[in-house]
Structure 1
Amino acid sequence: MGNRTQAQRDAITVEIGYALVTAAFLAAALFCLVAAPVLVFDLSGPAARALLIAAATAACLGFTTRVVRVLWRFGANTTGRPSGPGRTSPDA
């Protein structure tokens, strides 16, 4: 693990917060998008249940995928490689 500076710990905390907040918005949007036909078409019974299960599944998968992608990219950018196009890494 090694010793981390306060700035590095703060950056990790901010990145985790960003990942969780954006993942929550994505999950809510996915749930609403998939579950919308239940309200729009006034569905009930097995069709409504199946759509709500699909909506919950899509929301969970979207949330997990977003968190993993954001944190994976953050980890990749802290390994000393350039963090984006046009940026250069200092010569060692």
Structure 2
Amino acid sequence: MSDHGGRRGQAERDAITVEIGYALCSAAFLAAVVCGAVVGPVFVFDVPDGVRRAVLAVGAAIAVVLFVARVVSVLMRFRPGAQPSQPGRTRPDS
């Protein structure tokens, strides 16, 4: 909620929606790239089925952990209604 105790305005709700979308998209991209980097060589080289399954499992696990970590880290940094810093100002209330 906002600092004055009221309900969130439309601009704050829109900012939260955009931030959630950014968190999900960037997390999905990161997970896909890392999973592809880990699992990709298995499809390029001839490896036994046991190794293939193990690498696929490890790649999927890493992707899930990175996805969750990215979403949490992006959303924890987001503060709705926080004003960006203004260069040249010495105090927040100036």
Normalised by the size of structure 2, how large is the TM-score? Answer: 0.80
Find 1:56's aligned residue among 32, 57, 60. Answer: 60
The answer to whether 1:31 aligns with 2:35 is yes
Instruction: Give the unaligned 5+ runs of structure 2.
Output: none
- Higher Cα Rg, which structure: 2
Q: Give the residue type in structure 2 aligned to 1:72.
A: M
CA distance in 2, matches of 1:83, 1:34: 38
Higher relative contact order (CA 8 A, sep 6+): 2
Output the aligned Cα RMSD. 2.4
Find 1:67's aligned residue among 66, 71, 87. Answer: 71
8 Å CA contact 1:38, 1:44 repeated in 2: no
1:41-74 CA-to-partner distances (Å, cap 9, x unmatched) read: 1223111111000000010011001100100000
Specify the alignment match of 1:11 in structure 2.
Answer: 15
Q: CA deviation at 1:91?
A: 1.3
Runs of 4+ in 1 over 3 A off after TM superposition: 82-90
Instruction: Give the unaligned 5+ runs of structure 1.
Output: none
SS in 2 for 1:13: helix
Q: Percent identity?
A: 49
